[in-house]
Structure formats: structure tokens, C-alpha cells
Amino acid sequence: MCGIVGYIGKKNCVPILINGLKRLEYRGYDSAGIGIINNGNSKIVKNKGKVSVLEENVNNLQLTANIGIGHTRWATHGIPNEINAHPHSNESGSLFIIHNGIIENYRTIKTDLQNLGYKFTSDTDSEVLVHLIDYFINKGYDLCKAVQFALNEVVGTYGIAVIYNNEPDKLIAARKGSPLVVGLGENENFIASDVSALLSYTKQIVYLDDGELAVITKDGFTVKTISDKEIQKEVHEISISLEEIDKSGYPHFMLKEIMEQPDSVWNSMRGRLLHEEGTAKLGGISEVMDRLVNSNRIILSACGTSWHAGLVGEYMIENLTQIPTEVEYASEFRYRNPIISKDDTVILISQSGETADTLAALREAKNRGALVLGICNVVGSTIARESEAGVYIHAGPEIGVASTKAFTSQLVVLALITLLVARKKNLSAAEGRVIVEALQDLPEKVYQCLKLNETIEQIANEFKDASNFLYLGRGYNFPVALEGALKLKEISYIHAEGYPAAEMKHGPIALIDENLPVVFIAPKDSTYEKVVSNIEEVKARGGRLIAIASENDNDIDELVDYSIKIPDTVEMLRPILTSIPLQLLAYHIAVKKGLNVDQPRNLAKSVTVE
């Protein structure tokens, strides 16, 4: 959620910190700040609001330093304001800390420190850390030891960076449940919560794991556990380019990422289809295929948009493999004492691979002996590293907070897994080839959907002032209704609900009047006639109707106010096509309302706290 960046070397760290924070803005935040040390002098600059405000304030001060840390905060404890913004310092202003995560026992620690005479200025849980580290420094320990002792006292999650005026040749970083990486340069080194902050400077990355602490100097780094056991870490070469995280001429990252979907869908299946055999090839799960194919049950666990992908996956897997499949909110999974056996497979879905609730579900499933697989986008992420096996979606960097291309790529990967398992169980080669050919045709069909952009923009103009929306679909397209409603809520702040179309008569029909837009996902599939009946019911009550329909369906035009026609494909892949017009509809409504679609209020790209 929050963003961390740090630098130690020979250059002026201030523009490096500001540039890194700009790269992290997509994660969501409400305040920003930097802390620097220069020739024994330390300085914090922070403010509520955007990094651009921080940059202006910093430029006015003409600061220079060779070591510093920067932070974008997404408020948990304490309102968004300058006092609660990071970095936080000890009373003397010699020790600075930035922190992602939540310290669950901060009240107890705060009371103990207050009893010792420590004064607190913020409402945050993070401030206890800087005073606790200061306490151990005053006991005579060096910075590294003081941080280790402090972290052994806290309960919760953290990604931290610490600098100290009296030891200006080192930067300390540590993580538990909140991602951190070390970036390696020549006579300079970096830290960040996301590699995107470092791409201008290095592609040599070291991933910190939970319970690890890094001592970083301009010439190198060492990693050890919180209990002081030294660890040898592998250096990874990052393949992402700066161009991939730029807007490339688009007004927003979200529109760019929507328009990238012909490529991202193709990249998710590239090299993974075997046409003649009618199956898929997924090297990431090849060693566990026997366990997967012979699973008694498959559980898909995720949050938000990824959970909606899991719902589509449930339809795919059960329909083609006949393996009982369930979808669980990761945020509820570990708290309800789930019944899991060693014969079950649990598949965790997360764009970032760092989602705290999904990671907790992964560990719970692992502890209970299930086969644990990951589906994620970010290479080297925690879920990717802790899963027994898994599949990358290869969607490329997704900067917009509201997920678009990652969703459709997750659906492609779920289709590939389904195809592979089904072919090993009961699906014939001929049936498999039909699915393979449909997958191969998808990128072009996605492109055809994107050509509807101008039409959808015109429809958005008609509904930008609506207060509520209702999205309805059946079968495979019920999860698409949920996802369409979520997209609209996330970026336009219009209240929207997704429902199975058949459930409309069991409550939501009471809402329908001439002011309520109702979006039907109504391609010509096995439930089409039933959906048409639901459309008639809404029409009879004066609802304003929008339909996502098949390109050859002329009859539906007489029933609805607006129809958006998409190409046809096999039923299990239709959600990939039906979801794209809904992404565009949400995008254009939000833009026409003058909202920031890439950084919607209160939201974060990667939710790394519970």
C-alpha cells in the first residue's frame, strides 16, 4: 500500500527519492515525505497530499544529501495530515523511520515508552518504532542491534527503513509481511517497496523475505535475520523496462492498460498452447500435476478483482474437470477454521503477489498440508516465492489501481490450467483443440471489443450523472457483473451492485425505476433466453437498459436503450470479452466526472495490510 524508497551513495539523494516516490504514486497514498542526513545535519520534509507538493517544498529548500529515505502514506492509524505523514523521528531529530504495515501491539509499547518519558506527536502506530529503536540506542546498542531488538518486541507487519545521524554510512531495512527490495548499483545502493521505483537506476534486485533485515552501505549490503543469523541472498535481474511503466501517450494508465489487452492476453498464453494435443503446457506446475489432477477439491482464494476471476475459474474448472471447486475470500479464509486436507489444492490469485490476506490464506493452506499454487503477475513476489508451484500471468506492469489487463490475463491462465487438467481427466483431444483455437483467436477479438471505445464513451456521457447502477448476468457472466460494478465503484464513486440476473426478482427489482441504469451481460449463450426475460421485466418497470450482447444479436436492440455488440467465442472464454466494455464504461464515466482514474480516493494498488 504505502511506498518506500531509500538511497545511500555519492549522488544527491533528494531527486532520486522524489523520482522514486513518483513511480510509487500508483499504489495509492494520502501524504508524502522524505528524511535526509547531510554532514551530521538531518532534515524531514513532509506534507499531506501529492508528491508534487512535496517536490515543490523540497526544491524551495534546495536540499542535498548522500543518504535519505522517502515515503508515501496510505492512512491506517491517524488521519491524513502532515504530523501523521512519514518519516517519523525521535525527540532529538537524529533518528528517522518510515514504515509500511500495522503494529498491532503499538498501544502497549506506546504506554510503556510514555512511562519512560517518551513524547509522541502523531496518532500513528508507526511512531512507536522510532522511539523504541531510540530506547535501545540509548541502552548502548548500535543502530542495527537496536532495530533488531525493537522488531523482536513488536507484533504485526512491517516494511521499514531507518537512518541515524550518528551512523550516516548505513541504511537499515527490514520486512515482515510488507514487501521490500534492495537495489544494487555502483558506489550506491537503494531500497524500495516496489522495483518500479528503482528502474531508472538499477535492475539488480535482492528480495527481502519475512523476518530479514538488510544493512546497506554505498559499497554493499548484508542480510541477516532479526535474530542476527547472516543470510546469503540471490541477486535477480529485472526485465521490466521504463517504457512499460510510462503512459505511452495515453491520458491515463488505466486506458493504456485496457488498450494493451490484445497483447497482455496473448502474452498470458504465448508458448503455452499445444494445438495438436488440444492442451496447454505450464512448466510452473508440471511437477505437481499428479496431485492437482487427483485433487478431491480445488479452492480458489483471492481478494477484489482477483476473487471475481476466481469465480469465473470455478465455473471453468467444475464444468470441464468435474472437480468440486470453491471460491473463498482470502480475508475470511483463515479466520473461519477452514476444512482442508492434503488431498485438496488451494490456488491463490493476486496481481501483485503481495496481498496480505491472500498471503495469509496461502500460509494457512500450506500449514494444513494442501497443495498450494499461485497465480500472480509480479515476478519474484512473495506469493510466487512461497507457493509450491504456480503460473505467472505475464500481463506486464499494471499501474492503474483499478485492475483491468491483469483480470483478463488471470482468466486466460485459469482457462489454461482448466484445459490442462481436463485433458488429463476426461476431455478429448478434439474438444481440447476447440478451446485452443478459441484461445488463439482471443487477441483479435479483444481488439474488436476495444474498437467500441468511442461508442462506449458516448453511452458514458448519458449515464455519468447516475447515482446508482445495477449489473446483471448469469452463469459465467455473473462474476462479470460483479466485476463491472466494482470497476464503476472504484473509479467513479457511483454506487453499483452486481447480481445474478435470476436473483433480481428476489429483492433488487424493488430499486428499478426510470432513474436506474441496468447493465445486462447478455451474450447468446446457454442462459440467453432467461436473461432476455429478465430484460423484459426491467423494461416493464421503466429501467434504463444497457446490454453487452453478441455481434449477431439484432433482436436485443428492440429491448434495450443501448447495446454493445462483441464477438463470439466459446462459453468459458466469454467473460474475457464481456468484461472489456465494462472496463471502458467505468473509465469514461469517471473521466467525464473529472476524477483521477489512476489514483482513486482511499484505494491502494497492493493491499499489504489486513
Q: Which residues are catalytic?
A: 2, 605
Size of the chain in residues: 610
CA distance 139 to 146: 9
What distance in Å separates the CA atoms of residue 216 and residue 27, rounded to the nearest whole number? 25
H or E segment and range at residue 13: helix 13-23
Indicate if the alpha-carbon torsion angle 434, 435, 437, 438 is positive or negative.
positive
Alpha-carbon distance 112 to 127, whole Å? 13
Taking alpha carbons only, the member of 410, 398, 373 closest to residue 388 is: 373
- Residue corresponding to grid cell 510510462: 246
Distance CA 57, CA 47 (A): 9
Q: Using CA atoms, how far apart are residues 179 and 400, in angstroms rounded to an integer?
A: 19
Cβ pair 608, 100 in contact under 8 A: yes
Q: At what angle do helices 127-138 and 106-115 cross, to 10 degrees?
A: 50
Give the rounded distance of the alpha carbon of 467 from its chain centre: 27
CA-wise closest residue to 42 among 67, 18, 71: 67
Q: Which residue has the cell 457511483?
A: 494
Classify strands 468-473 and 273-274 as parallel, antiparallel or unpaired.
Answer: unpaired
Cα 219 to Cα 202: distance, rounded to the nearest angstrom: 14
